[in-house]
């Protein structure tokens, strides 16, 4: 019988208790070896009948096959260094790194690392990619994306890491935009930031407006707006030669609205067998994909696994937006 894959979870916050631990506890041949945090995670550890560790010395943490880093981006480095030395597979929460230089340094440390950008498993993300690839509506002429959110001092507890830009890395770009940028990086290969304007409050980016240039087979631009200063619809609009498609890119099985010069209709996209129609399925598929690569001893393309393009987009926007 094949031995179980031993997983250690570092960080006992909401993403661990609400997502990673419930999923890992349901996957065959996975053993949750410990849950560690700087605050004793004893109650959560009891729920999963595993070891509780209050972190005092990172080097004293137990060995495992996979370590989950569900911790703020601002404190990841020492954990990545430690577990890279042990040749441990690393599954880290988003965002992967605080900037592009740090991202590259992390990849020099580990070639067994992945980041939880799970929206690429959304059925809606896969379907828009299929539509683009098929050319059924002709070439893309333009893309427009808007999204809203709350972060930092606008709704987070003062005790939350998200209220400290040194821990969180910033505001909406790190908390929300990174997921959207990972979707764009999945859809398109060559993305560059033409221009960007960022509104800052107390070290947090609270609004970003950017224009991206795409230079794949055809050239077009993406207009992107993220704000927490006013209500705004979460929406992605893809303008093709004769049609446009609109959908909520934050929703796994979003309804697509197709408009043309002579008609407009809504339809529910067909569910593909492998892709996610719920948030839980997206997380699950990300984990299954990661575990499958480990079990088959696959070579990790760490730039894809960690979406280095996502970090580059965030870094360029912050630089062009005069990061405070």
Residue 186 sits in the same domain as residue 110: no
Cis? peptide before 95, omega within 30° of 0: yes
Q: Are 118 and 248 in contact (CB under 8 A)?
A: no
Residue 170 sits in the same domain as residue 225: yes
Domain containing 34 equals 5-118+289-301
Which residues on neighbouring strands pair with residue 145, listed in sequence order? 224, 236
Q: What does the alpha-carbon distance between residue 34 and residue 63 come to, in Å, rounded to a whole number?
A: 10
Residue 104 sits in the same domain as residue 189: no
What's the pLDDT at 270?
A: 60
User: Buried b / exposed e across 201-221, counting CB within 10 Å, b at 16+?
Assistant: eebbbbbbbbebebeeeeebe
Pairing of strands 66-69, 51-54: unpaired
Is residue 268 domain-resident? yes
- Neighbouring residues of 107: CB distance < 8 A, sequence distance ≥ 6: 113, 302, 303, 306, 308
Dihedral angle computed from the Cα positions of residues 214, 219, 220 and 226, in that order, rounded to the nearest 10 degrees: 0
Is residue 284 domain-resident? no
In order along its 324 residues, the chain shows pLDDT tens digits of 678 999 999 999 999 999 999 999 999 999 999 999 999 899 999 999 999 999 999 999 999 999 999 999 999 999 999 999 999 999 999 999 999 999 999 999 999 999 999 999 999 999 999 999 888 888 999 999 999 976 444 555 566 666 677 777 788 999 899 999 999 999 998 899 999 999 998 888 999 999 999 986 668 999 999 998 888 999 999 999 888 999 999 999 998 999 876 666 555 556 566 789 899 999 999 999 999 999 998 888 999 999 999 999 999 999 998 765
Dihedral angle computed from the Cα positions of residues 56, 62, 68 and 71, in that order, rounded to the nearest 10 degrees: 0
Q: What does the alpha-carbon distance between residue 128 and residue 188 come to, in Å, rounded to a whole number?
A: 11
Residue 87 belongs to domain with CATH number: 3.40.50.720
Structural domain count, the chain: 2
Residue 174 belongs to domain with CATH number: 3.30.360.10
C-alpha dist (Å) from residue 199 to 58, 126, 185, 209, 320: 37, 32, 24, 9, 11
Is residue 283 domain-resident? no
The pTM is what?
0.92
Q: What does the alpha-carbon distance between residue 274 and residue 281 come to, in Å, rounded to a whole number?
A: 10
Q: What does the alpha-carbon distance between residue 69 and residue 80 come to, in Å, rounded to a whole number?
A: 9
C-alpha dist (Å) from residue 168 to 71, 96, 264: 9, 11, 42
Q: What does the alpha-carbon distance between residue 220 and residue 139 come to, in Å, rounded to a whole number?
A: 9
Q: What does the alpha-carbon distance between residue 125 and residue 114 come to, in Å, rounded to a whole number?
A: 19
Is residue 204 domain-resident? yes
Is residue 108 domain-resident? yes
- Which residue do the tokens 């399925």 mark? 281
């Amino acid at each position: 019988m094949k031995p179980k894959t031993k997983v250690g979870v570092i960080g006992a916050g909401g993403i661990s208790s609400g997502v990673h631990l419930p999923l890992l506890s349901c996957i065959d041949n996975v053993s949750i070896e410990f849950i560690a945090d700087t605050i004793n995670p004893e109650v959560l550890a009891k729920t999963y009948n595993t070891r509780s560790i209050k972190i005092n010395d990172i080097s004293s943490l137990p060995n495992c096959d996979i370590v989950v880093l569900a911790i703020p981006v601002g404190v990841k480095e020492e954990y990545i260094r430690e577990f890279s030395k042990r040749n441990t597979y690393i599954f880290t929460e988003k965002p992967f790194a605080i900037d592009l230089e740090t991202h590259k340094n992390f990849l020099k440390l580990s070639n067994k690392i992945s980041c939880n950008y799970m929206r690429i498993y959304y059925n809606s993300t896969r379907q828009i990619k299929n539509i683009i690839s098929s050319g059924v509506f002709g070439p893309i002429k333009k893309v427009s994306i808007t999204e809203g959110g709350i972060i930092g001092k606008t709704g987070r507890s003062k005790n939350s890491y998200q209220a400290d830009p040194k821990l969180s890395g910033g505001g909406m770009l790190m908390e929300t935009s990174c997921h959207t940028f990972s979707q764009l990086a999945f859809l398109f290969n060559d993305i560059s930031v033409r221009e960007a304007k960022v509104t800052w409050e107390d070290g947090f980016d609270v609004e970003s407006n950017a224009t991206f240039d795409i230079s794949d087979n055809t050239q077009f631009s993406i207009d992107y707006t993220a704000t927490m200063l006013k209500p705004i619809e979460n929406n992605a609009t893809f303008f093709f030669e004769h049609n446009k498609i609109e959908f909520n890119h934050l929703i796994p099985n979003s309804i697509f609205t197709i408009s043309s010069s002579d008609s407009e209709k809504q339809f529910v996209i067909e569910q593909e067998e492998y892709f996610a129609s719920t948030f839980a399925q997206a997380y699950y598929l990300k984990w299954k994909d990661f575990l499958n690569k480990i079990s088959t001893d696959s070579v990790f393309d760490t730039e894809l696994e960690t979406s280095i393009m996502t970090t580059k987009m965030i870094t360029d926007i912050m630089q062009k937006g005069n990061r405070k």
